[in-house]
Structure 1
Amino acid sequence: MSIQFDKTNGLSGIGGDVVGGKSLSRMFAELQMMASDNAKTKATDLMDTIKTKQTRLKDAYACKKALQSAKDRATYGIYTYRESYKDARGNAMSLNKWMENNGVANPKSKLSKDDIKAAIARIDTHIESLGTDTQTQMIRLQDFMGQYNNFLQGAHKSIGDGKQTLNAILSR
C-alpha cells in the first residue's frame, strides 16, 4: 500500500482505496456535500416562496378587513374602485384591483351588502387556499432541512472515517 498525493500535495488516498486520485471516503464526502448544497438551495428557494405567499396572505386579510368595513358603511351600495386599503408593503391598493388580480373579481362596480358578503366569502376561500398551500410548503421545507442536515452529517462522518484510517496507517 502506498500514500498518494493530489495536485495540491494533499493526501488523496491510500493504495487500493484510490479511485481517480481520490479516496473513496473523500469522494463520498464530496457527493454528500453536493447533495447538502442541493437541499440547501431547494430550502432557500422554498423559503422565498413561503415569504411571498405570506405577503399575499397578509394582503388578502387587509382586503377582507377593508371590505368588511365597506359592508358596514354600505346602505344602497358602494363603488369598489373608490375603496382602498394598505397592503403588506404599506402601499395603497384598490379593493377592486386586488380582487381582479387574485381571481375574486366582482362583475359590478357598485356592490350591495349581499355582493360584499359574497366577495368576503370568496376572499375567505382564497385565504384558506393560501394558508393550506403555505402549510404544505413548510412541511416540504422541513424535509429539505432534514435532508441538508443528514447529508452534511454523512459528509462529516466520511471525512472523520477517512482521517481515522489515515491516522491508523500513518501510526504503524
Structure 2
Amino acid sequence: MLKYLLHYPQTVIEQAQRLITEERLGAWLLKKYPEPHEVRNNKALYDYTMALKNRYLRKSAPLNKVLFDGKIGQTHQALGLNISRTMAHGGKLKARKEIRIGTLFQHAPEELLKMIVVHELAHLREADHNRSFYQLCCHMEPDYHQLELDTRLYMTQLEMFGDIYQR
C-alpha cells in the first residue's frame, strides 16, 4: 500500500499510515506546503533549473534541454531523468544533456520540484546514487532528505486521494 515508503524505518511508515487512515495526509501536506510553484511550462522549468545549475554547478556539462515529460512514471520508474545523447553534427560527435521532470510535478510545491531538479542536476557530476551524490544534493538543498520523504508522501497522496491543490 505504501510503495513509495518501503525503505523507510517502520516508525515513519506507521506515522504515514496513521495520516492516511485518518485521512489527514492532504491536510498535513497543505499545512507544510500551502501553495504550488509557479513553474508551469518548459521554458520556466529550463530557467529555474539553469539558475540552480549556475549557482552550484557552473563547471559541469552544459544542459541543452530541460522539460516536463508526461511519459516519465509510465515508462520509467522515475520522477525525473538525466539523459545524455551523442549526436553527429558536421562529422563531429556532440554530447547533449537533457533533464526531464515528470509532469506530476507541474503542480507540486516548489520545495518538491526543487528536490527533483537538484537530484537530476547532481547526476551531471555523479552517475550513481552514492555518498558523493547525496552530499552534492545536500549541498544544493540542505533539507534534501526531508524533501525526498515529503515527495514520497505527496506521491502517495496523489495516488490515493488526488491532488491537494485541485480542491
- Note whether the superposition's TM-score is higher than 0.5: no
Higher RCO structure (Cα 8 Å, ≥6 apart) = 1
TM-score (norm 2): 0.23
TM-score (norm 1): 0.22
Larger radius of gyration: 1
Whichever structure has more helix as a proportion of its residues is: 1
